[in-house]
Every structure is written in structure tokens, then in C-alpha cells.
């Protein structure tokens, strides 16, 4: 990890810094990361940023969101924040993301004053350390030439994060496997000391590969032309402090697929085994 800010990471930080148009209305840019629509993690991160701009002295502990329409990467996104409630310990915010006059995304987030309480957590899976694994960029070089153009464009897009899968998926010879994957992730360079920024970035990261876990038992690949995969909703819970510029293990599993939908659950652990956040997502998985 570099000490000087990586340009891709610096651009992502700019993407998450929204322009305030009015007290509760913000505007964000969009980025093309190689897919046909706005990356869901971008809208998650920006919407959480908008909500955070309207809360003082409290940290987000949960969010629940719905993806309503595909986002246009060529147009800005307007975020309208409803200051639903400010209580003694908790604050609640509702955010609607709008493009071309229509809502494309909605989010509800809850914020809490810090306080002590009961403590327990699940154990981190026993997996190899990130330093012993290959970066996903190195793995992809071996298979790019055999993939469709659209899939190749997505995979060759440079990312602001270093990603090291514990159990890489074979993109060419897909075979049924357990609905589970483990991925180490961290930013390419050091980040500012801003807990809100780290939570917003984790929301951005949390959309990466999550719903795709539901396809693993069925040998369904994103490169297949007869498959439609799209996020429908997303939830996150933030448990403990963390830094995105330090390695985090993203563990994902899918307990169910039915009705052309797949459910996936995720957890983030530090290298010391501390559970810092959890995520859940249901997505459309449609086979033509």
C-alpha cells in the first residue's frame, strides 16, 4: 500500500464528496467502472454521505436501501435527505436518489450516540492471510482473452482497492461450488483519519460480488449472455471501528435462491478477527 494517495482512490474520495445545493439537497457525480449502469456501491456510498452530512455527534449503525432503477453513468445524481427524527440517542434519515426526474434509489439510515453495552461476535473463518494470496488483477490476466468484450472491459477497469480472493472463481470453466466466498480488500493507499469516510467507503465496497455469491452452486457466470443479475436491496450494520486502508476480510454466503432472486449475507473482519460490519443483499438472478 502506497503512502502517497493513489489517483484512483483520490478520485473515489472526490466522488463521495457531494455538492450541497440546499440544506438537505446534494448533488453527486457518476463514474463508469465498466458496467452498463451506475455501480450500486457508488449510490450506496453517496446516499450514506448525504445522510451523514445532516447528522452531528452520532455514527451510522445501520442502513436499509432499495435499488429502484438503473442509474445513468452520464448524468449526475441528486440526493434529497429527509431528517425524519432526532431523538436523545438516535437519529434517523431517509434519502432518495433522483436522476432525470425519477427516483432510482432509496435509503434509510440510523445514527446513534456512542455508548457501551454487551459484547459478543462470531469467529472469523480460518483462511490464508492476504500476504499469501494473489491479487485479482494477476488472476484475471490469465483468462481475459477468452472472455466476451463487455466482461473483459469490466475486469480490466482499474480499481481504487486491492482485492485478493481466498478462493478465486474460474470464469471460464464454471462448475457448481458451495455458495460461499472470502475476499481480502483494502484501499490502495492510506486514508484520512475520518471514521465517516471509512464507513462510506465500506458501503461502496459492500456491493462488490455480494449477490453473485448466490450463483455459485449453479455454475452461472456473469459472462453468460442468458443471465441477468441486478441488486434489488441492500442492508448494512456497522458494529465496531475499522479502517478501509487496512486489510478487511469480506466473507460472503448465500443461504437461498428462489423466485428468480438470490439472497446473500456478508461480514467484514479485521486481520485480528474482529467483526466490524455485516451486510445483506437480495438480487435478481434471472436465466433467459
Long-range CB pairs of 149-156, under 8 A, 24+ apart, other chains included: 150/36, 151/222, 151/223, 153/34, 154/33, 154/34, 154/35, 154/222, 155/34, 156/34
pLDDT, tens digit (0-9, with 9 covering 90-100), for 242-274: 999 999 999 999 999 999 999 999 999 999 999
So what's the pLDDT on residue 67? 97
For residue 29, the model assigns a pLDDT of: 96
What pLDDT sits at residue 272? 98
- The question of whether 231 is a catalytic residue gets the answer yes
Total count of domains within the chain: 1
Domain that holds residue 19: 7-114+128-287
- Report, as an integer, the average pLDDT of 1-13: 86
Q: Is 119 within a domain?
A: no
Confidence of residue 181 (pLDDT cuts 50, 70, 90): very high
The distance from CA 109 to its chain's CA centroid, rounded to whole angstroms, is: 15
In a domain, 53, yes or no: yes
pLDDT score for 227: 80
What is the CATH number for 58? Answer: 2.40.160.210
Instruction: Pick the catalytic residue from 207, 209, 245, 254.
Output: 207
User: For residues 131 and 209, what is the distance between their CA atoms, to the nearest angstrom?
Assistant: 21
Task: Provide the pLDDT confidence category of residue 168 given band limits of 50, 70 and 90.
Answer: confident
Residue 207 annotated among the catalytic residues of the structure: yes
Q: Tell me, yes or no, whether 63 lies in a domain.
A: yes
User: SS3 of 227, please?
Assistant: strand
Q: Does the residue 90 lie in any domain?
A: yes
Catalytic, 135? Answer no
From 231, 245, 254, 278, the catalytic residue: 231
- pTM value is 0.92
Q: What is the pLDDT of residue 188?
A: 94
Tell whether 1 is covered by a domain. no
Residue 267 lies in a domain: yes
Residue 185 lies in a domain: yes
Distance CA 210, CA 277 (A): 14
In a domain, 227, yes or no: yes
Amino acid at each position: 500500500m502506497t503512502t502517497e494517495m493513489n489517483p484512483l482512490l483520490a478520485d473515489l474520495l472526490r466522488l463521495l464528496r457531494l455538492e450541497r445545493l440546499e440544506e438537505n439537497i446534494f448533488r453527486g457525480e457518476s463514474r463508469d467502472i465498466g458496467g452498463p449502469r451506475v455501480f450500486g456501491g457508488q449510490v450506496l456510498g453517496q446516499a450514506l454521505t448525504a445522510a451523514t452530512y445532516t447528522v452531528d455527534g452520532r455514527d451510522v449503525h445501520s442502513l436499509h436501501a432499495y435499488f429502484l432503477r438503473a442509474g445513468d453513468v452520464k448524468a449526475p445524481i441528486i440526493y434529497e435527505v429527509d431528517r425524519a427524527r432526532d431523538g436523545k440517542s438516535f437519529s434517523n434519515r431517509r434519502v432518495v436518489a433522483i436522476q432525470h426526474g425519477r427516483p432510482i434509489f432509496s435509503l434509510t439510515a440510523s445514527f446513534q450516540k456512542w455508548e457501551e453495552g454487551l459484547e459478543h461476535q462470531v469467529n472469523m473463518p480460518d483462511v490464508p492471510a492476504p500476504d499469501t494470496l494473489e491479487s485479482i488483477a494477476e488472476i484475471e490476466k490469465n483468462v481475459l482473452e477468452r472472455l466476451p468484450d463487455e466482461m473483459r472491459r469490466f475486469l480490466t477497469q482499474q480499481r481504487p482497492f486491492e482485492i485478493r480472493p481466498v478462493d478465486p472463481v474460474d470464469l471460464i470453466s464454471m462448475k457448481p461450488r458451495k455458495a460461499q466466498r472470502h475476499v481480502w480488500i483494502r484501499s490502495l493507499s492510506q486514508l484520512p483519519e475520518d471514521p465517516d469516510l471509512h464507513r462510506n467507503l465500506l458501503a461502496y465496497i459492500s456491493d462488490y460480488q455480494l449477490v453473485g455469491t448466490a450463483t455459485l452452486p449453479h455454475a452461472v457466470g456473469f459472462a453468460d449472455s442468458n443471465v441477468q443479475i441486478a441488486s434489488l436491496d441492500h442492508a448494512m450494520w456497522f458494529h465496531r471501528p475499522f479502517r478501509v486502508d487496512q486489510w478487511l476480510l469480506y466473507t460472503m454466503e448465500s443461504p437461498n435462491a428462489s423466485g428468480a432472486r438470490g439472497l446473500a449475507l456478508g461480514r467484514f473482519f479485521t486481520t485480528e478477527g474482529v467483526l466490524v460490519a455485516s451486510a445483506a443483499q437480495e438480487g435478481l438472478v434471472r436465466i433467459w
